[in-house]
Amino acid sequence: MSDPATGTASRMQRRIIDWVDDHRSDVIGLAQALVRIPSENKPPHGNELECQRFIADFMRQLGCHVDMFRPDEVTGLTEHSEYWPGRDYTDRPNVVGVLGQFQPGASRPKGRKSLLFSGHADVVPVLGEGRYGWWDATIEEGKLYGRGSCDMKGGMAAFLMAAQCVRRLELELHGDLILESVVDEEFGGANGTLACRLRGYNADAAVVPEPNNMVISRAHRGGQQFRIYTSGTSIGMGFGESVLPDPVTALAHIVVGLEKLNAKFNARPKPEGFEGDTFPLMPLLLRAGEQLPWGTGEAIPETAWVEFWLEIPAGVTKQELQDEISRMIESLARDVPTVGRVSWRMEERTRFLPGSTIPADSPIIQTLAKNFALAANQQPVFANAPFACDVFMFNLHSPTPCALLGPRGGNAHAQDEWVDVEDLITLTKVFALTIADWLS
């Protein structure tokens, strides 16, 4: 659509960019409205209902055909290999809006294109107090603060407003646009996204605006959270014992072993799409022993444990990851007497989230890149998304290749979470231009 010789915008593209500039306050207002509706995911429950109703109403006012359904009412969900059991989906509907003739599950007319935008409505529960109110959606110095602003209601507002832009401009779309807001993404849920795939909402390509700092990602990390326990028999202070079963020191060896194992993972050649990435190991909790009322410990603890989150590139399987950790601990138990004297076990604290990737020449990557350059007036940066997310449900368990492009922000899952307001404007332009381009 743009003039390939000059890279300047066509008349239609100019109208899109101008419309978004003229409706800046609507984009920001929608992001604020979404942040102001608490939608905490509190496993096994979640209170996404009000937010999902709001989004469904927004989609209806765009002229979408709207489908609201419980994830676990979708045929095949609970039997699927990636279904994560134990969640309660009462009052937790997924919402999908369709502009066009798309019928989920029906065979699509040949040559008719389709594009899907997907986001999650749930947010991590709030705890404690920050500088800004959790649900106030305060804007200060170009940042919108509040739970979910960055992860990921800002990105959702951008694609919903992009759809509004193409509707208000009455652009003729020769294809189908699918807008999706799922429940239960946080805490490794991902059942909401899987349920949409199984219900038949599959398209030529999908875009997920998780906050990846305005880069175009064709790949994202995977990860899993574990707890490792070490245990010995109770011996109190161990008077008279020269060799003590010592779970604390044994665990310390294991924690250092994990650091070395992660360094070994990072020294391996990185798979395609992850060049230049460094995968973190994040120890989150460490527990052992008991402080007695007078302020000291008086017994060697029977048990110690560490909880950590480990990130991995695409291609690493759950079995491979867990086997490598187990082998590392087994070898420590052979070589280090302190570790050999205790028993240990590993517990999964989240589901395994695989990384995933799509080819560099995927048309959606090219289309996003072209329209990013036009909207942002600068060349895009390509990099993998530095987090695990449910995009793998598209890339590994559906026919829809999925890319990521989302805003810059910070403090996700913490106090004073924020998103860059200007990025939401740019993203709205990129997404509207992409819709017009893909479906023209």
Q: Which amino acid is at 188?
A: G
Strand partners, 216: 382
Between the CA of residue 145 and those of 55, 83, 236, 425, what are the distances in Å?
A: 20, 33, 50, 16
Q: Closest approach of Cβ 161 to Zn ion, in Å?
A: 19
Alpha carbon distance 372, 376 (integer Å): 6
Closest CA to 147 of 129, 163, 160, 164: 129
Closer by beta carbon to Zn ion, 46 or else 247: 46
Which residue's CB is nearer to Zn ion, number 151 or number 246? 151
Shortest distance, position 399 Cβ to Zn ion, whole Å: 23
DSSP output for 212-261 = -TT-BBSEE-EEEEEEEEEE----TT-TT-SS---HHHHHHHHHHHHHHH
Write the DSSP string, 144-195.
EESTTIIIIIHHHHHHHHHHHHHHHTTPPPSEEEEEEEES--TTT--HHHHH
Q: Record the tokens describing residue 336, joined without a space.
A: 């280090």
What does the CA dihedral 322, 211, 125, 288 come to, rounded to 10 degrees? 40
Per-residue exposure over 395-432, b if at least 16 CB sit within 10 Å of its own CB, e if not: bebbebbbbbbbbbbbbbeeebbbbbbbbbbbbbbbbb
Report in angstroms how near the CB of residue 352 gets to Zn ion at its nearest.
18
User: What is the closest distance, in whole angstroms, from the C-beta atom of residue 64 to Zn ion in the complex?
Assistant: 23
Helix (H, G, I), strand (E, B) or coil at 115: strand
State how far the Cα of 364 lies from the Cα of 215, in Å rounded to an integer.
Answer: 14
Cβ closest to Zn ion, residue 9 vs residue 152: 152
Residue 210 or 246 with smaller CB distance to Zn ion: 210
CB of 210 to Zn ion, least distance (A): 5
* 435: CB partners within 8 A, 6+ apart: 115, 162, 163, 166, 173, 177
For residue 111, with 0-12 CB atoms within 10 Å meaning exposed, 13-18 middle and 19 or more buried, which class applies? exposed
Q: Which is nearer to Zn ion, 151 or 416 (CB)?
A: 151
CB of 282 to Zn ion, least distance (A): 17
Nearest CA to 338 out of 240, 225, 239, 255 is that of 255
Q: Which is nearer to Zn ion, 209 or 380 (CB)?
A: 209
Residues that bind Zn ion (CB under 5 A): 151-152, 210
Tokens describing residue 30: 């929608």
The DSSP H or E segment spanning 357 is strand 356-357
Q: How far is the CB of 58 from Zn ion (least distance, A)?
A: 20
CB of 61 to Zn ion, least distance (A): 25
At residue 324, φ and ψ (nearest 5 deg) are -65, -40
Nearer to Zn ion, 193 or 400 (CB): 193
CB-nearer residue toward Zn ion: 210 or 416: 210
**In the complex, minimum distance from the CB of residue 311 to Zn ion, in angstroms, rounded to a whole number:** 15
Q: How far is the CB of 124 from Zn ion (least distance, A)?
A: 9
**C-alpha separations of 278 from 10, 237, 269, 315, 409 in Å:** 40, 42, 11, 15, 20
Nearer to Zn ion, 120 or 143 (CB): 120
Q: By C-beta, is 151 or 437 nearer to Zn ion?
A: 151
Q: Are strands 113-120 and 205-208 parallel, antiparallel or unpaired?
A: parallel
Which CB sits closer to Zn ion, 154 or 247?
Answer: 154
